[in-house]
Amino acid sequence: MLYREIEEKMDQETCYRVHRSVIVQFNYIVQIKNNIITMEDGQKIQISRMKAKKFHEKFSDYMGVKYRREK
């Protein structure tokens, strides 16, 4: 299966392709600093420069929705 096919099937609200071969699920992110994501398991993932702006927008939207649900 190609990454493009996986992207089409994944939940667009909670997942994002941050690099050519990396898709992250937002609820497993513990930190974002200098375009490097730290996941729950300690893995560090670089966000590509081309995808950084859109990633930050999508993650911000996700956190806003998550915050409103928890209230």
Q: How many CA atoms lie within 13 A of 11 on its CB side?
A: 9
pLDDT tens digits for range 14-47: 999 999 889 999 999 999 999 999 999 999 999 9
pTM as predicted? 0.83
Q: Would you call 42 exposed, middle or buried from its count of C-beta atoms within 10 A (0-12, 13-18, 19+)?
A: exposed
Q: Which domains does the chain have, with CATH numbers?
A: 3-66 (2.40.50.1020)
**71: pLDDT confidence band, cut at 50, 70 and 90?**
low
CA dist 59 and 71 (Å) reads 19
